[in-house]
Amino acid sequence: MNEKWFKDSHLCTICDALIEITRKDEFRNIWHCGGEANLLSVEDATILPTTTKGNEMNGMTETNLPLSEAERYNPNQLVTYKKIFNDETTYSTEKVVDIEWALEQGRRANDNYNGLRLKVNELEELLVELYNPNYTKEEALQQIAELFGFELSKTVTVTGTINFEVTVQVPLDEVDNFDAHYKLGDELSLTSYGSDVEVNDWTIEDTDVDWN
């Protein structure tokens, strides 16, 4: 008689760890990070022996070898798991790929939180140091800005006049009706090369055509 084996998949909602347990005894809850992990799925992990000629000793053939993790992976497999929120227990069924996306977002959010928490701790230490009256207000603000990667700057609006000279190829049959203002309004543009300057608006006020 073959022994019945099971593979249980659990999720730790504290650190987002995926825990897989292979067992042949009764189901038991898994504790991780000081709390009970959520059960995601239970799969049959029993490996049936074969009696193929030439392999009676080990009961294995090339066709019934255990599948690798990559071969068993199915991103569209539906998984039912338990959620506890405000002491209320609900069950949700989602695809593996959707659970993976949620776990990745959770890991990113956790990394961002840890990074910000570290910055806050550093700021607390820095404020104690900057309380020294030997620091000026400008020095204190500069060090705080450097800690958080801020650039202390102010946005101003600049208006002015730009003179330009361009050459335009005008077909002879359009010379009499040539409108330089209209033409340049379609063809000219004003852009900035650096990230410090942003062009909000520009207009062509006057145009003068030299026909010589």
pLDDT value of position 105 = 93
Q: Round to whole Å and give the CA distance between 6 and 24.
A: 6
Q: How many CB atoms lie within 10 A of CB 40?
A: 19
Overall pTM surpassing 0.95 (yes/no) = no
pLDDT value of position 65 = 66
Task: Give the pLDDT means over successive 10-residue stretches in the chain (212 positions).
Answer: 75 83 76 81 72 51 67 84 86 89 92 92 91 89 90 84 85 86 84 83 81 74
Q: Round to whole Å and give the CA distance between 80 and 97.
A: 13
pLDDT value of position 62 = 54
Place of tokens 């050459």: 167
Nearest to 203 by CA among 172, 159, 165, 171: 159
Q: In the chain, what is the straight-line distance between the N-terminal and C-terminal CA atoms, in Å? A: 105
Q: How many CB atoms lie within 10 A of CB 9?
A: 19
Q: Going by DSSP bridges, is the β-strand pair 6-11/78-85 parallel, antiparallel, or unpaired?
A: unpaired
Burial of 8 (C-beta count, 10 Å sphere; 0-12/13-18/19+)? buried
Determine the length of the chain: 212
Yes or no: say if 12 and 19 are a contact pair by the CB < 8 Å rule: yes
Q: Round to whole Å and give the CA distance between 176 and 129.
A: 76
Write the CB contacts of 106 (distance below 8 Å, at least 6 apart in sequence). Answer: 16
Nearest to 21 by CA among 1, 2, 45: 45
Q: Look up residue 132 and give its two tokens.
A: 């020294």
Q: Round to whole Å and give the CA distance between 187 and 179.
A: 12
Write the CB contacts of 64 (distance below 8 Å, at least 6 apart in sequence). Answer: 47, 48, 50
Q: Round to whole Å and give the CA distance between 69 and 73.
A: 6
